[in-house]
Amino acid sequence: SQQGEEDPQALSIQEGENATMNCSYKTSINNLQWYRQNSGRGLVHLILIRSNEREKHSGRLRVTLDTSKKSSSLLITASRAADTASYFCATVISSNTGKLIFGQGTTLQVKP
Amino acid sequence: NAGVTQTPKFRVLKTGQSMTLLCAQDMNHEYMYWYRQDPGMGLRLIHYSVGEGTTAKGEVPDGYNVSRLKKQNFLLGLESAAPSQTSVYFCASRRGTSGGAADTQYFGPGTRLTVL
């Protein structure tokens, strides 16, 4: 069964606007990761946040984690057309195996 | 470094045929994973390996077998393909030792499989 649920399923914004995607999960985690997938391509790792962290930044990306609500959000600031892709959150319950459990993803379209 | 490579990129099978998908990584990673991606389902873990000579079942292992005879290679086999196995298959690897990047998975470009 899917661990994560993402919201919204699809998002369309204008270039320059911010995009926010949310992810909820069901069980306690070791860490949560966000990946990007361009159409027809493999997944690319964006950012990892550990269960004892609340916020992380990487360039135009900001990720938050609220373990009490079992939720995370990914904010992309000043979006560009090149950010058009699907974004997936994935949780890791055990670092011993490192198994990723993916959500269904959010499809982001950034219009020029 | 090529990273993670997958062979073949595309394949069409008839029901009942068998095939092997090859995943290779040149990063000396301990952990390797096979996922399948279906429309609207996200990725689901089929099998994984925590080191050379080891394999374990993931979420959806039925109908698949795997082998990790060499550290750099992880093979996914379909013994008798079924239309339900039509999907895009992704391989990934992870370093697995402690440290900041140890938990990051690196994905291959995928294999698109159609079973008629």
| Token pair for A95 | 């670092």
Structure-token pair, residue B48: 């994984």
Q: Tell whether B61 is within 8 A of chain A (Cβ).
A: no
B108 and A31 within 8 Å at the Cβ level: the answer is no
β partners of residue B36? B44, B89
Tell me what pLDDT residue B41 has.
Answer: 75
Shortest CA distance from B95: residue in chain A: A98
The pLDDT of residue A94: 83
CB < 8 Å to B40, chain A? 104
Class of residue B104 by CB neighbours under 10 A (exposed 0-12, middle 13-18, buried 19+): middle
Digit-coded pLDDT (tens) for A11-46: 999 999 999 999 999 999 999 999 999 988 889 999
The neighbouring-strand residues paired with A32 are A49, A91
Q: Do A104 and B40 touch (CB under 8 A)?
A: yes
Residue B60 in contact with partner chain A when CB distance is under 8 A: no
Mutate to test the interface with A, among B37, B105, B111 (most CBs of A within 10 A): B105
pLDDT in tens, chain B (116 residues): 779 999 999 999 999 999 999 999 999 999 999 999 998 778 999 999 999 999 999 999 999 999 999 999 999 999 999 999 999 999 999 987 655 556 889 999 999 999 99
Is residue A30 within 8 Å of residue A92, measured between CB atoms? yes
Contact A33 B104 (CB under 8 A): yes
> What are the tens digits of pLDDT across the range A43-80?
999 999 999 999 999 999 999 999 999 999 999 999 99
Q: What percent of chain A has pLDDT over 90?
A: 83
Whether residue A101 lies within 8 A of chain B, CB to CB, comes out as yes
Q: Is B26 on the interface with A (CB under 8 A)?
A: no
**Residue B27 contacts A, CB cutoff 8 Å:** no
Looking at residue A93, its pLDDT comes to 87
Q: Give the residue from B82, B77, B81, B96 showing the smallest Cα distance to B25.
A: B96
B41 touching A (Cβ < 8 Å): yes
Most B CBs within 10 Å, among A25, A49, A102, to test the B interface: A102
As a whole number of angstroms, the distance between CA B114 and CA B94 comes to: 28
